[in-house]
Amino acid sequence: MDFESIRTSISEKLGDETSAMISDDFVNMQALEKSFNDKLSEVEKERDSLKERNEKLVSANLNLQMKLGAEVNEPKAKEIEEDKPFNFASVFDEKGNFKK
């Protein structure tokens, strides 16, 4: 439905005087909707721009990794830590208090 058909429908249901007051509110709502739609368009353009920029950065990063070779993706021996279970006894003394 468009604005004019809604206004006509209200006018038929409520009468001219009441529909005129409501019509003013609809005009204000229509202006607000336009403002929201404009802002939404701006946000969508920014999103698309950021997506494009991200794709370019991912591509450049991939190219850089390929130039540097496979060692980029392989962790160094010092960086590899074994998952050992935590020993709670190591943080408490014989009285059950935290060690200093």
49 lies in some domain: yes
pLDDT digits (tens, 9 = 90+) for 32-60: 889 999 999 999 999 999 999 999 999 99
Q: How far, in Å, CA of 42 to CA of 46, rounded?
A: 6
Report the percent of the chain where pLDDT is more than 90: 26
Question: Domain range holding 64?
Answer: 3-75
Copy the structure tokens of residue 17.
Answer: 């005087």
For residue 65, which amino acid is it? Q
Residue 8 near residue 35 (C-beta atoms within 8 A): no
Claim: this prediction has a pTM higher than 0.85: no
Q: How far, in Å, CA of 42 to CA of 99, rounded?
A: 57
Copy the structure tokens of residue 100.
Answer: 């200093």
Please give the tally of structural domains in the chain: 1
Kindly list the distances between the CA atom of residue 68 and the CA atoms of 64, 71, 75, 77, 79, in Å, as whole numbers in the listed order.
6, 7, 14, 19, 19
Give how far the C-alpha of residue 20 lies from the chain's centroid of Cα atoms, to the nearest Å: 41
Q: How far, in Å, CA of 38 to CA of 5, rounded?
A: 23
